[in-house]
Structure 1
């Protein structure tokens, strides 16, 4: 029976959703609202009086009451919720309990230092992981070069399993203390960027290169690759024009997720290198119980994660239209 279903009905083909970006934006807005609500509840769920905990038991009651009034904690919960959201839409992240400075100003001075580590580290990961994974996929396809496959797998598993802060400590001990090639800590010139970026990029590079290799091996077994080879196309065109673009879908998805984890991983790395970014700031604010500052930094990290996921979703919709197809 041609052109129809076996039972004589009309065949219903999967069709592409007409408004995939709108759905993705809708999910982003809902996730952002949930994130803001959870950030608001951080202070509300803290046992006891957060202002007293931050200022200490010996702080005068007048100072405690004045700080509570300044933070709006003496208002009903529903009013605090509305004031909080209204402030966020105006760019007001609240006020630090200890310094009395706007949280937004503190974040604005520390965020560039964190991005100065996270973004170059992400570029290093992509620039190294994709060529490594593609190269070892080509070298070891069809069960070839078992020794190279074992060396690659063992090395990447080892580096991926080591936490960033242990890598950072080892780098400091060897390259900064023993050899004296780089500064031990601090933010002083381009040389101070090298070790923190390596500490952030080593594990993700190992993980992503393994994923690229597996995805490339899967693509190399497809019929269209065999057809390209049958046409006697140069190997460079087969691997770069046909194999690599089809292997990049999973790579792009995981690369976006790794960027978010790398930003979070800066918390430990920044503390090892005394880096003046959001990571070291949130650690200090937790110890000092400066909850509005913790709240603001957590919110910035969360918004960054949501934005990266949104960009990855939109790029996947462009590069892989199959991700927008649904059954109707």
Structure 2
């Protein structure tokens, strides 16, 4: 009897339907739902945080917007025009409804739409952030792999020690100090590059260099460590035993196994680059979002501060999600919870 039921179930699609996965059980669907949920959570947190922390900045935005020499009555009138007299919950609902309708408000100081301020400054920040991460990968991955290969098996201990000391020291230097040193050496002393501004293509060099040195050292150290681990794997020993050649062994068997770790770290660093650009852009007077938020803080321009922080936070979240998607495409095991029979 049992055999008959099992045989019939194997022949009848309806009896096997309970074992089939529905669309909601597909690994990519579950992956997308998790990431979308994380994006919504990040959006909610960013919305609340950007609204609540900005009023903590010392100073009265109404007094700044009214201008020097404004009377108390004029300041009170300006506060009412800016909506600062409304209850906090009303201000938050206005702020939230504006975000939902893609209206980030207008600047307290210039009267310009915040979205226009962001759009005009974002390309400058994107230039140095993207260029920096590309250069970081082009430099850090070969250097990290090269050091690991040359020091394999305890060889050249001076190189291993020197690499750790130099990369650790550079990474420990604060970005504003690094930027100032670059200006003093390459702009003031040698005169090779402009010290500030974005008037020429040469102006990209120093801000990009100041932004990339620290991340390059971090990724190079991680790649060096991961390469050392991969070089001890059995399949790498087998490849060397078959005398496939050093270049083929390292590019075909070592490098692909570094992709996951390197991309994950690179995504986190690129997201952090958006925040680090605040310091670098201030040092080099680069007209990006970083300098924009600094100016807005000095002027107590609440809508601009909130808009820039919100956009930077969402961009960082989207970058991390994009890296997760790329990693899942490269290796489906990164989908999380996906079984091999998917």
Match of 1:294 among 298, 305, 310: 305
Aligned residue in 1 for 2:10:
none
1:255 aligned onto 2:266: yes
Provide the aligned C-alpha RMSD in A.
2.5
Match of 1:176 among 183, 187, 212: 187
How far is 1:44 from its partner?
Answer: 5.3
Aligned residue in 2 for 1:98:
109
Match of 2:224 among 204, 213, 217: 213
Task: For CA contacts below 8 A with separation 6 or more, give which structure has more relative contact order.
Answer: 1
- Tell me which moved more, 82-91 or 32-41: 82-91
Match of 1:304 among 315, 322, 328: 315
1:28 aligned onto 2:39: yes
1:270 aligned onto 2:307: no
How far is 1:271 from its partner?
Answer: 1.5
Aligned pairs for 1:76-91 (under 5 A) are 76-91=87-102
Aligned residue in 2 for 1:143:
154
1:198 aligned onto 2:226: no
State how far apart, in whole Å, the 2-side matches of 1:303 and 1:187 are: 26
TM-score normalised by structure 1 residue count? 0.87
Q: Is the Cα contact below 8 Å between 1:43 and 1:292 reproduced in 2? A: no
Q: Is the Cα contact below 8 Å between 2:27 and 2:338 reproduced in 1? A: no
How far is 1:60 from its partner?
Answer: 4.2
How far is 1:65 from its partner?
Answer: 5.0
Aligned residue in 1 for 2:324:
313
Aligned pairs for 1:101-120 (under 5 A) are 101-120=112-131
Q: Is the Cα contact below 8 Å between 1:16 and 1:326 reproduced in 2? A: no
Query: Which secondary structure state, in structure 2, belongs to the residue aligned with residue 326 of structure 1?
Result: coil
Aligned pairs for 1:125-140 (under 5 A) are 125-140=136-151
Aligned pairs for 1:30-45 (under 5 A) are 30-43=41-54
Change (3 A) 1:325 1:113: closer
Q: Is the Cα contact below 8 Å between 2:66 and 2:78 reproduced in 1? A: no
How far is 1:126 from its partner?
Answer: 0.9
Higher gyration radius (CA): 2
Change (3 A) 1:288 1:79: closer
Change (3 A) 1:44 1:170: closer
Match of 1:165 among 155, 176, 184: 176
Q: Is the Cα contact below 8 Å between 2:65 and 2:78 reproduced in 1? A: no
State how far apart, in whole Å, the 2-side matches of 1:325 and 1:224 are: 26
Unpaired runs of at least 5, structure 1: 1-14
Aligned residue in 1 for 2:164:
153
How far is 1:80 from its partner?
Answer: 3.1
State how far apart, in whole Å, the 2-side matches of 1:271 and 1:44 are: 23
Aligned residue in 2 for 1:8:
none
Aligned residue in 2 for 1:11:
none
How far is 1:72 from its partner?
Answer: 3.8
- Tell me which moved more, 44-53 or 162-171: 44-53
